[in-house]
Structure 1
């Protein structure tokens, strides 16, 4: 499995995909900050379904990077 983690300032953005029963793909992203006991991990799951894993990953990456850059 390819590591898709991207560091943005104090955040670690980790886009993810999941295959669905109908053959489509869903997208989500984990945004982690802090270390050890002081770490916080936000997970966002997105409503759109995608025809390919690549499209879902691209969407999750874009959304995660936008969130990290805005905060």
Structure 2
């Protein structure tokens, strides 16, 4: 089961970590980066190959990668990051 936790609003983007518990006991990390609304919404999902010993470590990695992606494209948006209910 995928879990979205602690989404972060950054400018026009919503960065949400997606963490999956693996059969071997480790955790896989992905991140959703959403922008737009309604029929104009776009959702980019990136899956990562490293595996993590804890849910928290996987979530930190996913958020860092998502924020890095946003910062590369919109450097001025990065300081506006605020946690959202997720």
How would you bin the TM-score normalised by the shorter chain? Answer: over 0.9
1:1-71 paired onto structure 2 within 5 Å: 3-71=5-73
* CA-CA distance at 1:53 after TM superposition: 0.6
| Cα distance in 2 between the residues matched to 1:17 and 1:2 | 7
Match of 2:80 in 1: none
Tell me the TM-score normalized by structure 2.
0.78
* CA-CA distance at 1:3 after TM superposition: 4.0
Superposed structure 1 runs of 4+ greater than 4 Å apart: none
Tell me the TM-score normalized by structure 1.
0.93
Q: Structure 2: which 5+ runs fail to align? A: 74-86
Q: Structure 1: which 5+ runs fail to align? A: none
Q: How many residues align?
A: 71
SS at match of 1:16: strand
* CA-CA distance at 1:2 after TM superposition: 7.4
- Root-mean-square deviation (Å): 1.4
* CA-CA distance at 1:32 after TM superposition: 0.4
